[in-house]
Amino acid sequence: MSIISILKIIAVIVTILTGVYSLVQPKRLKAINGLEAATPFAVTEIRAVMGGTFIGLGIAALIFPYIQVFKTLAITYAAIAVIRGIYMVVDKSVDKSNLMLLAYEVVLAIVLYYPV
């Protein structure tokens, strides 16, 4: 198993753990990304959209460890990073947390897109 393959599996596990954290601790996300689950609907939305998406994509990459699935996950992270980057400027929300999340998304996108 190559170092790239190991990094891809780590990236997938990080993706799943991000989803699990969003699922079980939606109210604690404020400390990481500023999202505040102020209503029961908001809690459910974080659990469903963030938790469900990241868990689902991560599990898909484990069950179907094909380059296309890893690239799909990479493109997802790249899209999140591009949108975050643009709207950090537009919304004037450039701060340490947003920059760290942007770096995290870019690194995962690169690792997951890189061919084995």
Question: Which phi and psi (to 5°) does residue 30 adopt?
Answer: -60, -35
pLDDT at 14 over 80: yes
Q: State the pLDDT confidence band at 28, using cuts at 50, 70 and 90.
A: confident
Q: What is the pLDDT of residues 34-50, one digit of tens each?
A: 778 889 998 999 999 99
pLDDT at res. 56: 97
Give the mean pLDDT of 5-26: 95
Measured CA angle at 108 (ends 81, 79), to 5 deg: 25
Question: Domain tally for the chain?
Answer: 1
pTM score, whole prediction: 0.89
Specify the higher pLDDT residue, 33 or 53: 53
The domain of 90 spans 3-113
Q: What is the pLDDT of residues 49-78, one digit of tens each?
A: 999 999 999 999 999 999 999 999 999 999
Q: Nearest-CA neighbor of 74 among 41, 27, 30, 116?
A: 116
